[in-house]
Amino acid sequence: MQPDHLQLWENCRQFFRENVPPQQFATWFEPITSVRLENGELFLQVPSPFFVEQLEERYPQLITAALRKVYGPGVKLNYYFYQVKNEPDTGVSIRSSEYSPVIRDTTLPAANPFAEPDNKPFNSQLNAKYNFENYCAGSSNAIARTIAESIANDPSNKTFNPLFIFGPTGVGKTHLIQAVGNRIKERNPRARVLYVTARFFQSQFTAANHKGQINNFFHFYHSIDTLIMDDVQDLGTGNKADTQNTFFHIFNQLHQNNRQIILSSDCAPSEMDGFEARLLSRFKWGVSAALEKPDMQLRRDVLMHKAKQDGLDLPADVVDYIAENITDSLRELEGVVASLVAHAAVLNREISLDLARPIVANSIRRNRSQVNFEMVTAAVSEYFKLQPDVLFTKSRKREISDARQVLMYLAKKMAGMSLKSIGTKIGRTHATVHYACQALEERMSLDKELRDAIDAINRSIIG
C-alpha cells in the first residue's frame, strides 16, 4: 500500500527538521500542510504570498532536495495561500524540480486562520488630542486637510489611497494623519485603525524575526482597516532591506483588499533615497499632498488657539511678535506659549512684549536666520582642529567621521537646512545625512563628552 499524501509530507517535514535549526523549522515549515497529491502534482497550503516568497528566497535548494528524496524527481509543487477577508483563494507556484502553472481552487475554506477575533481589544496607538477640531486651517495646509477630512468622513471611498503627506518638521503632519484615525474611530469604534512610526514598525519587525513570529506579525498587519505610518522616510535609512520587503508585501495586501493607507514623510516620494523602486512606486499610487511652512495668519491662529486652550489672554503685540519671529514650525509656536505660561507664573508677571522677547530668543534656534552652513563648518573645524576641506572627503578616520557627523547635525539644527541641502553640500545622500543625525543623537544620550562638545560649538557660533 502506497503512503498517503499526509504521510509523505510528514517525511518531507522530517527532512527539513533534520537540516535547519529548530526556530527556522517552526517558522517556515511547521505551518505548511499538505492538501493533496495527484497526477505528479503536490498541493500545499501556506499562510500568505509573503510566506511563499520567503521560502523561495531562503530554501529553494533544500525544498528541491526534499521533494526529490520523498516524491521523486518529476513532482510539481503548487501552493495555496489565504486572503485576509473571505475572498477566493489564490494559488502561486515556486521552483521545485520544474515550474508548475498557477492554480486556482475555491473548494478550500477561505477564512483567515490567523485573523484576530473582532471582539479582541485593540490599541490604535492614536493620541486623542490630535483631531480636526483643533487643527488650524490655512493656505499652507488647505489641500492636505481637505483630502484627509474626506478620507476620515468616508473611509469606504478609496480615491485617495494611499495618502502621502509630506513636509518639513513641525508643520502638523502627525496631527493631521492622526486626526484621520481619530475621526474614523469616533464614527466606527470597531474599525481597526493603527498609528505607528516607521521606527516602531522596524522594532516590531526585528523583535518578531528574533522570536520566530514573522507570520503573526504579518497577519496582524493584514487585519488592519486603516494603517497610518509616520516618518516613513526612516525605512530608507540604514540596512533595512528586510523591513522594506515586509512593508512592501503588507502594503500590497492592504491595498488589494481596499484597506486605507496613510503615510507621512519629511520629503516627497520623488526625493526619497534608500528605497527600492517598487516601494516608491507604491507611495505614488494614490495622492501626495504637501504641508508647507505656515504663513503669518496661520501662525497667529495657532498661537491664539494654544493660548485659549491654556486659558491665556495674549496681547495682540505679543502674538504678532512671536508669529513674526518663529516662522518655520507650529510646534515651536506652541512651545513658546507654554514657556510664557511658566515664566509668567514663576515671575508673577503679566504677559507682555518684554516678557516674550527673551523667551522667543531662548526657545527658537537663536539667530538661526543668521547662521549658515559656512559658519557651522568653520566652528566645527576649529573645535576639532581640522582643515574644513577634510570634512567633505570620504575619509573614515574616527576624528574626521565624528566631526563630519557633528557638522551635519548642527547644519540641520542651527542653520535649519534640509537633509537634502546638507547632503548636496558635503556630497552625501539625503538618507546618509538622516542616518548620521540620528546616530549622533543616540550617541549624545550616552556620551557626556560629546554633548559638551556640541554645546561648546553651539556657543562659539551664537555667542
Confidence band, pLDDT 50/70/90 cuts, at residue 92:
very low
pLDDT number for residue 101: 31
Residue 449 confidence (pLDDT) above 60: yes
C-alpha cell at 430: 539625503
Q: Of 54-63, 291-300, 438-447, which one has max mean pLDDT?
A: 291-300
How much is the average pLDDT of 257-271? 89
Amino acid found at 69:
K
pLDDT number for residue 114: 40
How much is the average pLDDT of 57-84? 78
C-alpha cell at 458: 553651539
Confidence band, pLDDT 50/70/90 cuts, at residue 227:
very high
Residue 118 confidence (pLDDT) above 60: no
Q: Of 299-308, 325-334, 380-389, which one has max mean pLDDT?
A: 380-389
Helix residue ranges, H only, 212-329:
214-222, 241-256, 277-283, 296-309, 316-325
Report the candidate in 160, 167, 177 with the shortest Cα–Cα distance to residue 287: 160
Confidence band, pLDDT 50/70/90 cuts, at residue 313:
confident
Measured CA to CA in angstroms, residue 140 lies from 46, 155, 205, 418 at distances of 48, 24, 35, 18
Cβ 124 vs Cβ 194: under 8 Å: yes
How much is the average pLDDT of 49-66? 79
260 Cβ partners below 8 Å, 6+ apart?
Answer: 151, 155, 158, 161, 162, 163, 225, 226, 227
| Residue 43: count of CB within 10 angstroms of its CB | 20
Least confident of 75-79, 101-105, 287-291: 101-105
Cβ 5 vs Cβ 14: under 8 Å: no
How much is the average pLDDT of 312-323? 83
Rounded CA gap, 25 and 417, in Å?
49
Measured CA to CA in angstroms, residue 31 lies from 13, 88, 235, 280, 340 at distances of 10, 20, 29, 32, 59
C-alpha cell at 148: 484627509
Question: Looking at residue 397, what DSSP letter applies?
Answer: -
Rounded CA gap, 251 and 224, in Å?
11
- How many CA atoms does the CB half-sphere of 306 hold within 13 Å? 21
C-alpha cell at 35: 492538501
Report the candidate in 233, 226, 227, 221 with the shortest Cα–Cα distance to residue 264: 233
**By percentage, how much of the chain surpasses pLDDT 90?**
13
Distance of CA 265 to the CA centre of its chain: 8
Rounded CA gap, 321 and 359, in Å?
11
Rounded CA gap, 9 and 71, in Å?
9
Helix residue ranges, H only, 172-240:
173-187, 198-211, 214-222
Confidence band, pLDDT 50/70/90 cuts, at residue 81:
low
How much is the average pLDDT of 40-49? 82
Cβ 122 vs Cβ 190: under 8 Å: no
Q: Is residue 310 classed as helix, strand or coil in its secondary structure?
A: coil
Burial grade of 24 (CB within 10 A; 0-12, 13-18, 19 or more) = middle
Q: Give the chain's domains with CATH numbers.
A: 5-93 (3.30.300.180), 142-290 (3.40.50.300), 296-364 (1.10.8.60), 369-462 (1.10.1750.10)
Question: Which pairing describes strands 260-265 and 90-93: parallel, antiparallel, or unpaired?
Answer: unpaired
Phi and psi angles of residue 59, each rounded to the nearest 5 degrees, phi first: -130, 35
**By percentage, how much of the chain surpasses pLDDT 70?**
87
Residue 175 sits at the vertex; the CA angle it makes with 170 and 181, to the nearest 5 degrees, is 155
pLDDT number for residue 104: 30
- How many CA atoms does the CB half-sphere of 344 hold within 13 Å? 19
Distance of CA 191 to the CA centre of its chain: 21
Residue 111 sits at the vertex; the CA angle it makes with 105 and 113, to the nearest 5 degrees, is 115
Rounded CA gap, 49 and 57, in Å?
12
- pLDDT tens by residue, 157-212: 888 889 999 988 888 899 999 999 999 999 888 899 999 998 889 888 888 888 88
pLDDT number for residue 115: 44
User: Who has greater pLDDT, 366 or 417?
Assistant: 417
Residue 88 confidence (pLDDT) above 60: no
Q: What is the mean pLDDT of the chain?
A: 80
Cβ 116 vs Cβ 282: under 8 Å: no
C-alpha cell at 408: 551635519
User: Who has greater pLDDT, 440 or 463?
Assistant: 440
pLDDT number for residue 364: 56
How much is the average pLDDT of 145-165? 90
Cβ 77 vs Cβ 34: under 8 Å: no
